[in-house]
Structure 1
């Protein structure tokens, strides 16, 4: 039986890295995309190959650029026969607090392209391949309550792109269901950078009482949900926006703190 292949954008670090670990453990072949983190991507690929014996390649590219997306898919297909799973984890984010009028045209366009248009680029390239085999999994990442299109002060471009992506994800789910393709969005809670590459065991050991469930969220928490959605028997879950927040009101916290960012 042919092994399935997953393309993970932004897979060299953070939540993308934890996702790569989870999917390699499930036996998937991987194409790990990175923009600048070549050494991290190559090191991760080597580590996962040694641990799980699955074929893994790295593909450089900026998802905000269509030509890069085209090349990434071509390189993946030159190493594997198909792309069965697309995990769109990469997404530019500006930590500086800026009102809409303070964004430059370049910043605005880059955030929209990297968080929204990139999924159009990659889906347009990959979905025809998924249709041929009548099977596919598309998983995007959002933020808490994204499906309600909430306002988010100082994050206008990011929020606009991700709310648009929520609608696009659900549209793909409807359009492609007949072809055995599912599309879902996973929405991480307030997972700070230092915890994006850590696991649940580490989080339990470092008890954090400010989160309702009693511990800090980790990249593994998100990656486990993504891995579940890729499963053969998860085909009944499509068009879903799934919050993984530990019970915390992420946007409410951001507003209360004058927007702490993500």
Structure 2
């Protein structure tokens, strides 16, 4: 069995001051995928660039202190690459890790921003990721896509859907893309095990939403059909503090070495 945890940390240097290394040592997932690291490796201490027991990989934005993703893996992957598309790699949006039995993508999907200022960029990213996933799926290879998708898919996935119909992350165009993604054969692993509302992964600091559980579920592990057969559990670690997001996890029936 392998446990894969994904977490938008809203700044890895900030979370390092809030007990992150101790949490990682205690939780000890097989793979930890981070989004919104807001740092390049040369800005980080050794406990973040080479945590004990892990191989570490980073894709950082050209713009300092912005975006970025990372993978910490106990087993060294066969290969780790970025997406290979400059306009997205320059923002540190994606890492792709190849393991013997599956492919893992971690992604920090763009925020469409107020007034949809980056909606076109986001939808371009979504289509590019979808196409990339389809190539892997076309080879019948198990695929896991995790990260901050920056979209609440259905009304059940946020506390106040009516009030947010024109908000970034719940725009009709964003939800329509998520519909297309799921309808094309990808599975939201959390919904394999839990059909209830009230489960969120992001809460606004500004409105103190976490205290009242007024949140959004925008962090996912999605899988293709070959990988869905490997999934044993999926959950939300909503008691873990340190970011405006909480981690999400999935357990798959896989051996990282073969």
Q: TM-score, normalised by structure 2?
A: 0.46
- The structure with the largest helix share of the pair is 1
The structure richer in strand per residue is 2
